[in-house]
Chain A
Amino acid sequence: MAHENIKVNLYVWRQNGPNDPNAGIKVYSDLEINTHMSFLEMLDVLNTHIIENKDKYPEGPVAFEHDCREGICGACSLVINGRPHGPMQGTTTCQLHMRHFNNGDNIYIEPFKAKAFPMIKDLVVDRSSFDKIIQAGGYISVNTGGTPDGNAVPVPQDVSSEAMDAAACIGCGACVAACPNASAMLFTSAKVSHLGLLPQGKTEAAIRVKRMVSQMDNEGFGLCSNVGACEADCPKEISINNIARMNRAYISSTFTNDH
């Protein structure tokens, strides 16, 4: 694979804290990069350039979140040219490589925007509302110890595989950013499905779905109107069928009593 250098123009959302009156897009033109870089390595290059020319760039380096850089921790975000995690299907921002861009491209980079994801700085937002949804019921209530042997309850291969498909969610929030209503249905339904499909998670299924849905509403996420943008932009290709499954579970849960 040939290494190639190209130049790109970055249009980056800069915002110094939640209430910055000067928040907006800033342009960094003619950044020279290598097509083998990942998108985040390109931002590293930009930040090094900013740091090494501090007099020219009083705004300082661009804040963005990242950690694993291999598509699994869910820390990276970014809306790239209007799409959460950029143009490639089933790919997180950290796995996106610059070989998918061309010399002279203008690239718009913005944060995940949603009421339930308050702004922190530049491209960093607060996604702890997702933790709150999990705390409301995204678990099976077992304590450590005293559990039956792992093979005591056989789980059919297709059931465990379907549960795994849903469990693959990385909690990144792209589904929320993609949704015109900023709904967290895909995220929540993935957890409801993962646990509800497995025999171990069935006992609490009804109460789980009720609590998680109500927490989702409390956190300020919008309602689902079946647009489907979440599925299209989800880097783990979590299926929208999970939402249908959760809706069914939710309706039937309203016939059981909370306790």
Chain B
Amino acid sequence: MKKFQSNVPESETLEDKWTEYRSRMPLVAPNNKRNIEVIVVGTGLAGASAAATLGELGYQVKAFCFHDSPRRAHSIAAQGGINAAKNYQNDGDSVYRLFYDTVKGGDYRSREANVHRLAEVSRNIIDQCVAQGVPFAREYGGNLANRSFGGVQVSRTFYARGQTGQQLLIGAYSALSRQISLGNVVMYNRHEMLDLVVVEGKARGIIARNLLTGQLERYGAHAVVLATGGYGNVFYLSTNAMGSNVTAGWVSHKRGAYFANPCYCQIHPTCIPVSGDYQSKLTLMSESLRNDGRVWVPKHKKDVEALRAGKMKPTELSEEDRDYYLERIYPAFGNLVPRDVASRAAKYRCDDGYGVGSTGLAVYLDFAAAILRYGKSAATSQNLVNPSDEKIKELGRAVVEKKYGNLFEMYEKITGEDPYKTPMRIFPAVHYTMGGIWVDYNLETSIPGLFATGESNFSDHGANRLGASALMQGLADGYFVLPYTIGVFLSKEIRTPKISTDTPEFEEAQNNVQTKINKLLSINGTRSVESYHRELGVDIMWQYCGMARNAEGLKIGREKVRALREDFWKNVYVPHSDKDGHEFNPELEKALRVADFFELAELMMVDANDRKESCGGHFRDEYATAEGEAERNDKDYAYVSAWEYNGLDDDPILHKEKLEFKDIELKTRSYK
């Protein structure tokens, strides 16, 4: 039986909900925990933290990842930082403010109670990570340092140079490694979940492909936790790691888990632009750069042409001939407006013909002013009298280098240009997916016993995620929420014996996967998996379901997705030497993932079409003000769209979870 209730606990106030719920929650006694098995799929921030904590609590955990080591999960790539309502800077931050910023930043499309809980536990995360040895940046006095991130006016972001995700993941990985060495967690590297096994309505196991041998293996447990990341790679080009995919979530969806808000995708404003059609991925330049970088395009078309043709350098353009459009349109937040707003503004400039770079699809992010400003202040603090311009630049460069050195280096490696001397060229790119598997307050999906955490769930970010809050959510879910809330389900399972995998349900699921593999391998067509993926992502999804969408495009897009999917199943060529896939075969891994992206892509078009409003990362041309700002429709669309799978040929079924805002007044977001 599907369950579809938010299960938000009743309490007098929002502040009391989590605390009261936790103290009332049914517990599993330690002697019973030892007999209960939990599968955790994914060992990024959300999964590694959950697996480690469940192991510490005494559950028998089996953890899975498709990587060769948990340390390689996509979380490792996060650069900028992690938010927490510590108010260490004494700048007026609080749990309420973080909660408020997140709900507002998400354009009022998230569940209040979940977000408040997230803001509460954010503080514990920092303590936990420090204790694990995460080398966060420090002030001179030895206290933790903070910086500010887009969409907020306080400094609450903790960071470890430009490698925050890496350091947090290494922390979670080390906690996980400790539990592995203690025997509480068994780790299955290079294992990819390809189906979910549901027994009598409850999630009881998975079918995983051992990527080294290609054999399908059955694993049973009392409950299954998905922590399998986001689906941004449906667009082919994105800032996600090459292997990130939707498969675990999608096969669960086909087994009955509702998929929520699939159309909410975040397009990040500061990425290195596409340079050619051989391109395999896009590289993010951390949002923290917008603290010091100024975004601009030329004011005049003639300068645009000269720049594109390489007849003029951006540094040669005088101040009055530049349009610092974010500062002009949004004076209150300037370059620090939220991501969706910044991305759209860049798109409009380029649509209007003001884009720079050889493709015309780029804007400048300029550090010249910051270098001068920091240089002057360094000269003053060093008591230099009448320093030369050269000296000021040198001092300023040193400050900028200290803050963003590795990002500047990365930019130079990729583009061959020196961003200390010439402005960076940036353009928006797909970055994060707010949509995902629908979960209730317990992080339980519509299939009892199946949980989803981190980016894989539909999350706390509503229609748009603020910077530095995905790491926060992943770790909140894994360390401080799921290990408690899973007990609500498991406390009723203490009499359930070990789950046998020798049952018809496991048999059926394994056959299902094997049939799919055999089918893919038997097509023996002519086109590579890669070429299908690129066409799906670049030519269809980005075109019709990207930064701006409209009813007509979504209709065409859906048809194109279907047609290409049919072609894929007729013409794809998956190289192999074993017809059953019983070998190490990266092309087959890719093919299985792309096959699922095709099905998800169609659902995204359906969802985007259903949502006849503009909110956060979802922008509909038809629902915009004259100035091009998003027009939300709270009367008709203040709901979560949770889609039920209904076969490939029929339309999915929409279930609406109405969003109620008791603590926050719904306002038009304004960053002006």
Contacts and interface: CB of A to CB of B under 8 A. Distances in A.
Contact of A120 (B52, B76, B212): B212
A102 interface: no
A48 B132 contact: no
B560 interface: no
A148 B127 contact: yes
A198 B178 contact: no
A17 B104 CA distance: 54
A171 interface: yes
B14 to A, nearest CB: 23
A253 interface: no
A68 B74 contact: yes
B138 A142 contact: no
B180 interface: yes
A150 interface: yes
B573 A135 contact: no
A30 to B, nearest CB: 17
Contacts of A195: 133
B3 to A, nearest CB: 28
A67 B280 contact: no
A97 B413 contact: yes
Determine which residue in A33, A63, A73, A121 has the highest number of CB atoms from chain B within 10 A of its CB, and name it: A73
Interface stretch (A106-114, A157-165, A224-232): A157-165
A30 B80 CA distance: 41
Contact of A157 (B129, B140, B187, B483): B140
A194 interface: yes
Nearest to A157: B138
Given A131-B177, A141-B178, A65 B68 contact: yes
| Chain A: interface size category | 35 or more
Contacts of B241: 67-69, 73
B133 A34 contact: no
Contact of B68 (A61, A75, A134): A75
14 contacts: A1-B416, A3-B275, A41-B278, A52-B528, A60-B577, A68-B241, A69-B241, A70-B284, A74-B71, A74-B76, A97-B413, A97-B416, A144-B175, A164-B167
Given A134-B174, A195-B133, A63 B586 contact: yes
Nearest to B575: A60
B242 A67 contact: yes
B278 A139 contact: no
Contacts of A240: none
- Ranked nearest first, the 4 interchain pairs of A and B with the lowest CB-CB distance are A154-B142, A139-B174, A147-B131, A164-B135
Contacts of B52: 144
A7 interface: no
Contact of A95 (B140, B275, B413): B413
A73 B86 contact: no
Contact of A34 (B129, B276, B280): B276
B410 A66 contact: no
B178 to A, nearest CB: 5
A24 to B, nearest CB: 18
Contacts of A153: 130
A157 B76 contact: no
A72 interface: yes
B212 A36 contact: no
Given A67-B241, A73-B241, A198 B181 contact: no
B281 interface: yes
B265 interface: no
Given A139-B175, A145-B480, 17 more contacts: A3-B276, A36-B275, A38-B280, A41-B280, A54-B575, A67-B67, A67-B74, A120-B212, A128-B189, A135-B177, A139-B132, A143-B56, A150-B130, A151-B144, A167-B135, A171-B71, A200-B130
| Chain B: interface size category | 35 or more
Nearest to B531: A48
A48 to B, nearest CB: 6
B587 interface: yes
Interface stretch (B158-166, B489-497, B509-517, B551-559): B158-166
A51 interface: yes
B416 A74 contact: no
Interface of A: 1, 3, 16-17, 33-34, 36-38, 40-41, 44-45, 47-48, 51-52, 54, 60-61, 63, 65-75, 91, 95, 97, 99, 120-121, 124, 126-128, 130-131, 134-136, 138-145, 147-151, 153-157, 160-161, 163-164, 167-168, 170-171, 194-195, 198, 200-201
B626 interface: no
B312 to A, nearest CB: 16
B414 interface: yes
B597 interface: no
Determine which residue in A127, A131, A136 has the highest number of CB atoms from chain B within 10 A of its CB, and name it: A131
Contacts of A1: 415-417
Contact of A140 (B174, B281, B530, B576): B174
A150 B139 CA distance: 13
B526 interface: yes
A34 B174 CA distance: 41
B74 A51 contact: no
Interface string B232-243: 000000000111
B280 A134 contact: no
A149 B84 CA distance: 12
B603 interface: no
A9 B142 CA distance: 53
Contacts of B503: none
A124 B175 CA distance: 27
B278 A163 contact: no
Contacts of A157: 138-140, 142
